[in-house]
Structure 1
Amino acid sequence: MKEIRLFCPATIANLSCGFDVLGLCLDTIGDEMVVRKIVEKGIRISKIVGADLPFETEKNVAGVAAMAMVSGLDLDFGFEIDIYKNIKAGSGIGSSAASASGIVFGINELLGKPFSIKDLVPFAMEGEKLASGSAHADNVAPALLGGFVLIRSYNPLDIIRIESPEKLYATVIHPQIELKTSDARSVLKQNVTLKQAVIQCGNLGGLISGLYTEDYDLIGRSLQDEIVEPLRSMLIPGFDSVKTKALEAGALGGGISGSGPSIFALSKGKHTAEKVAKAMSKVYDEMNLKYEIHVSKINAGGIKTIKILN
């Protein structure tokens, strides 16, 4: 195998009550990436389409993740990367994670899969560290593994993949503003009250239980954030109205996607998810704020191979 072309999916992280420890993989939104073997050692980024991102390997999340992966390998060749960005940077649906997870997946395939998929997560996390200052896994893990992913522990890294209920759909609306993860993290408090912690733990446990048992009502009741959303929602235009209209249209629940500014809602069934999309869109239409909106089934497989060149 000399070259591989990949679909690198968008993701939703935090999922209200799962800050830095819970994420899901989307099916209809994502970047594409081509990874090929080259004679020269090292990592070279040769093409970036759709975004103004650095070509320098050490300044690009894909380059950093790739270097972390190959640094311990005795290779007499290198890799070249073409990146086709469809996920806008700062959108809150895992733009950096798509690049970081895509490159390590592609290199692993070209090397004959010496690493398991879970083994790739720490390498991809190094790309996330460059993007946000924090080596979190709640975007890269679902991008690689598909479905829902719980990061039970970061030290040591302990990742649990959870199947999505069959009828669960996500609606994501992205107001056309950029909100950097580092800026969104700067508004967070370093300490929470015992009451907040107890409520958040209950919601996280309820959400995980709802996913395993396909209890859609329990999923909806558990999509509540006591800690992060009250602080970050102030950075997102019309957040309260968008969320309220989504719930009125039949969404199970929703909140901030990742660090924002995208807002997500989960629904039972595609028809309801599309009604929710119309309701969310109407809010921004009335505000004369440009946006993108997506309706997606949960992606069970993660990164997808589009084409292989031997």
Structure 2
Amino acid sequence: MLDKTISDARGKSVTIHAPGTVANMVCGFDVLGLALNEPYDVMTVKLIDESTVVIHNVDSYNLPTDPARNVAGVALLEMIEKLDRKTGFDITIEKRIKPGSGVGSSAASSAGAVVAANHLLGNIFNNDDLVQMAMFGEKLASGVKHADNIAPCIFGGVTLIRSILPLDIISVPSPLLYVTVVHPQIEVRTEDARQILKKQILLKDAIKQWGNIAGLVAGLMKNDYDLISRSLEDVLIEPVRSILIPAFAEVKARCLEAGALGGGISGSGPSIFMLSKDEATALAVENAMKEVYTATGIAYHTYVTTINPRGVKIIE
């Protein structure tokens, strides 16, 4: 049946939108993430008769076209290994999520590629399978397999990664939340941002962090905005990584003054995200971000969006 599905799909293509994501969600380092409605990458995949991956870039980022050096490529190579038949993929990638932005650029490429390919194959792999494949792209990008960007990109919404080995992903229901993101036009490489983290932490700090993670998940599930706000605190990662992001403390303070529930570093940075209850507050938060970065002279880009409940979107 699989051979017939592949045969019927030869030459056909599918186009998808792969969303940006916010990993960590302040206190949930490597275990929490959410999908954004904007920005997103656009990718088109088609099946070919060779067990290889052919990559075309239609953007200005000059990313590798060698599949072994491209995050989408290594994810698809892993899928080819699992297919164990003469089948490959031709993929065209339009990056609208800037690499190194902190909003899941590598995850969008990795996850988008495997979701599109799986669609052409008749959805023979489940979401957990796709996460496992896409994490090979994250390992290439950062040196570590992690799923806090990959999981929300594929599952949509907010996800909790309880475990990587074995993989255990839980979708977390949440109330309507607006997400404001500012991306200062500098690059912070995920691998570099990981290397500066402390290797040991105090037990009292770990306990506080666990409480915040549990409080954030409970707040999301109970639609309790006050609990969400109180739990958006990071005592482990943010104090270290924030030194890599110009004007971080001022941006955070001004956004809270504007009414944000809270927020912090998106992934490894340099983007900063803030959550709000309503669009008017989210726009006020955006204005605060703009005022800070305009005064610094650093180029920036902002987004005001909402949580994407579906993840990668099939356009056909």
* Shorter-chain TM-score tier: over 0.9
Aligned 8 A contact 2:51 2:80 in 1: no
Aligned 8 A contact 2:23 2:266 in 1: yes
Partner residue of 2:206? 197
Secondary structure of the 1:72 match is helix
Question: CA deviation digits over 1:238-258, x for unaligned, max 9?
Answer: 000000010000000010000
Question: CA deviation digits over 1:51-77, x for unaligned, max 9?
Answer: 210000100000000011120213333
Q: Does residue 62 of structure 1 match 2:66?
A: no
Aligned 8 A contact 1:100 1:127 in 2: yes
* Equivalences for residues 1-40 of structure 1 within 5 A: 1=9, 2-40=12-50
Partner residue of 1:207? 216
Partner residue of 1:261? 270
Question: Which stretches of structure 1, 4 residues or more, deviate above 3 A after TM superposition?
Answer: none
> Which letter maps to 2:85?
L
> Which letter maps to 1:209?
A
**Within 2, Cα distance between the matches of 1:188 and 1:77?**
41
Q: Does residue 295 of structure 1 match 2:307?
A: no
Partner residue of 1:242? 251
Q: Does residue 160 of structure 1 match 2:167?
A: no
Q: CA deviation at 1:211?
A: 0.4
Structure 1 residue runs without a partner (length 5+): none
**Within 1, Cα distance between the matches of 2:85 and 2:171?**
31
Structure 2 residue runs without a partner (length 5+): 1-8
> Which residue, out of 140, 147, 156, partners 1:130?
140
Secondary structure of the 1:49 match is coil
> Which letter maps to 2:84?
D
**Within 2, Cα distance between the matches of 1:216 and 1:10?**
23
**Within 2, Cα distance between the matches of 1:90 and 1:42?**
27
Partner residue of 1:104? 114
Q: CA deviation at 1:83?
A: 0.2
Aligned 8 A contact 1:50 1:86 in 2: no
Aligned 8 A contact 2:57 2:63 in 1: no
Q: Does residue 220 of structure 1 match 2:236?
A: no
> Which residue, out of 176, 179, 182, partners 1:173?
182
**Within 2, Cα distance between the matches of 1:185 and 1:222?**
23
Q: Does residue 140 of structure 1 match 2:150?
A: yes
Q: Cα RMSD (Å) of the superposition?
A: 0.9
> Which letter maps to 1:36?
K
Q: CA deviation at 1:15?
A: 0.8
Secondary structure of the 1:87 match is coil
Q: CA deviation at 1:42?
A: 1.6
Secondary structure of the 2:146 match is coil
Secondary structure of the 1:71 match is helix
TM-score under structure 2 length normalisation? 0.95
TM-score under structure 1 length normalisation? 0.97
**Within 1, Cα distance between the matches of 2:88 and 2:207?**
49
Q: CA deviation at 1:154?
A: 1.5
Partner residue of 2:97? 87
> Which letter maps to 2:203?
L
Q: Does residue 304 of structure 1 match 2:313?
A: yes
Partner residue of 1:276? 285
Question: CA deviation digits over 1:193-221, x for unaligned, max 9?
Answer: 01100100000000000000000111011
**Within 1, Cα distance between the matches of 2:197 and 2:32?**
18
Aligned 8 A contact 2:103 2:266 in 1: yes
**Within 1, Cα distance between the matches of 2:197 and 2:38?**
31
**Within 2, Cα distance between the matches of 1:287 and 1:298?**
29
Question: CA deviation digits over 1:78-128, x for unaligned, max 9?
Answer: 210000001111100000000000011011000000011222101000000
Aligned 8 A contact 2:80 2:87 in 1: no
Question: CA deviation digits over 1:118-141, x for unaligned, max 9?
Answer: 221010000000000010000000
**Within 1, Cα distance between the matches of 2:245 and 2:99?**
16
**Within 2, Cα distance between the matches of 1:78 and 1:286?**
50
- Percent identity between matched residues is 54
**Within 2, Cα distance between the matches of 1:155 and 1:117?**
16
Aligned length: 306
> Which letter maps to 1:89?
P
Which is richer in strand?
Answer: 1
**Within 2, Cα distance between the matches of 1:154 and 1:28?**
27
**Within 2, Cα distance between the matches of 1:265 and 1:257?**
9
